[in-house]
Amino acid sequence: MFRPKTRITDTANEVVPFTTAATWVGLWSGEARFRGNKTSCPFCWDGGGRDPAFRVYPDHGYCFAGCGYFTVTRLLAVSWGLRNDEAAWQALERVGWKPPTRAERWERATAEAEPDREALAKALKYYCAAVDPQWERRQVTEPYASALSSCLGLLPLVRTEAECELWLSRCKEVMNSLLTGTTTSGLLAVKSLSGFYLIGEGHG
Ligand SMILES: [Zn+2]
């Protein structure tokens, strides 16, 4: 469930175009072509400019004379004599980047998180088995089979924590009323799930 915190160097590499960083250190000015622009490598002896070994690409650089791959952070750290994280912070400051607020990070994290639908399905089946000792046999017979499959069919609509809870409690109610004989029709039971449909549809 927990994702590693994004490193500031990754953020700088993502946010700052390599061409921009190359301009700051006087390595390159202008648009980078997709196939790369040739320039002399400032970090090694690459033939004195007759056969420049450094390539500036839109999102990275490469020195064919041995220095290898350059991210924005590496280019700036080496050029400015800073640690990678210091170079990353300075680069982000220059482009006016602001760290996301706690609220923005939270919103992003909850938007990305997917509920564990398999666990929800299991929880419902365990519940049924607990309510009805005959569940094992009954679950493949009507109206239980239809009701259960209607419940599981709603799972793709479940997205938030609140919806997980709502889904499970509504489905438990439905299965319980069927299994205990309070409701006898699978169709009725499924209709009583309609409150959940409405919430699910709100997401478009
Ligand atoms: Zn080099």
- Distance CA(8)–CA(64), nearest Å, equals 27
Task: Compute the distance from residue 40 Cα to the ligand 1 centre, in Å.
Answer: 8
**Lowest mean pLDDT across 15-19, 84-88, 144-148, 159-163:** 159-163
Higher pLDDT, 199 or 158: 158
- Distance CA(141)–CA(31), nearest Å, equals 68
Q: Which CATH class is domain 8-106?
A: alpha beta
Q: Is the pLDDT of residue 23 over 80?
A: yes
Task: Compute the distance from residue 51 Cα to the ligand 1 centre, in Å.
Answer: 12
Task: Compute the distance from residue 122 Cα to the ligand 1 centre, in Å.
Answer: 58
Residue 151 DSSP label: H
**Residue 120, pLDDT score:** 93
Q: Hey, what's the torsion of the CAs at 84, 90, 95, 99, to 10 degrees? A: 80
Q: pTM for the whole thing?
A: 0.50
Task: Compute the distance from residue 62 Cα to the ligand 1 centre, in Å.
Answer: 8
Task: Compute the distance from residue 24 Cα to the ligand 1 centre, in Å.
Answer: 18
Task: Compute the distance from residue 69 Cα to the ligand 1 centre, in Å.
Answer: 9
Task: Compute the distance from residue 79 Cα to the ligand 1 centre, in Å.
Answer: 12
**Residue 128, pLDDT score:** 93
Kindly indicate the confidence band of residue 58, based on its pLDDT and cuts at 50, 70 and 90: confident
Average pLDDT score over residue span 82-96: 95
131-154 residue pLDDT tens: 999 999 989 988 888 888 888 988
Could you tell me the residue ranges of all domains in the chain? 8-106, 115-201
